Amino acid sequence: MKKPNIFILLICILNLSFYNKAFAIGQGQTEIRINVPSRTLSLYKNSYLIGEYSVGVGHSQAMMTPQGYYKVEKKVIDPIWEHPYKPEGAVRISNYGKNPLGQRWIGFFEDKNTVYGIHGTNDPKSIGKFVSHGCVRMNNLDVEEIFDLVDIGDTVHVTYNRFELSQDADSIMLEIFPDPYKIKALNETEIINEIVQIAPNIEINHNILKQALAESNESNIYEVGKIIKQPQYSAFPYNQAPNNSFTNHYYSNYISAPVLPAQFQQMQMPIIYQPSNY
């Protein structure tokens, strides 16, 4: 029985029978991570981020890019697009400028009715939007770049994460992503728990966090906490305390305190030991 036509992105069908070039089988050291709400594709090599790209993803819950772990199954140069509403073979496009698939196809999942892949586009304005029939649409130069960096067998991980946390020297930043399919509400407790895991010594700004949750239909970045720095102690040991007195010197985020050698050994605190002439 002839296999039914399959939808790919926009209203595309990919005919892989025109391609006979083989590619190397990878060792799984390269991973593609796609987060649907942020519309980003991140490329990792040996767990290190080596590139991040804006992508287009499924336009509705019915056409949502499927979550889960997959493998790169096919790599195609100059894929053929066929019109899904015409008889098979009636309309085929392979021209670079007009092909909805661009010049590269990286297939990662196929069921009985649909195939999903990462590919280029003839509509660059659609990148970064919820526009496809489930595939992952990239700028042509971007997909050509990652095409050369991934192998058959490499991991493709599709997630649906509504927020992302990052840390600089003093702050925790929260980036919120929209939920166009209305399938995953943000949870304040979950966000707080992840913040505390990243930075246990943090003062969370709950007003800003509530504002972020209230504005969660749009992509925005918020500073939701300040890291509380613990003072470091610089110990100056000496043999005899002058007049049995101790003097602590405070500067910047450090406290320097003269202590006797025996006391220095017994102090239960983080210490930067600096010998002195006392």
Q: Give the closest residue to 71 by CA, choosing from 117, 15, 14, 105.
A: 117
In the chain, % helix, strand, coil (3-state, to 5) comes to: 15, 40, 45
Q: Give the closest residue to 34 by CA, choosing from 118, 101, 109.
A: 118
Which residue in 12, 59, 119, 133 is the catalytic one? Answer: 119
Please work out, in degrees rounded to the nearest 5, the angle formed at the alpha carbon of residue 23 by the alpha carbons of 20 and 24: 150
Tell me, yes or no, if 12 is annotated catalytic.
no
Tell me, yes or no, if 119 is annotated catalytic.
yes
Question: Residue type at 130?
Answer: F
Which residue in 83, 135, 206, 249 is the catalytic one? Answer: 135
Q: How many CB atoms lie within 10 A of CB 271?
A: 14
Q: Give the closest residue to 12 by CA, choosing from 112, 109, 104, 115.
A: 115
Rounded CA gap, 53 and 40, in Å? 6
With 0-12 / 13-18 / 19 or more C-beta atoms within 10 angstroms meaning exposed / middle / buried, residue 89 is exposed
Query: Do residues 213 and 186 touch, judged by C-beta distance below 8 A?
Result: yes
Active-site positions?
119, 135
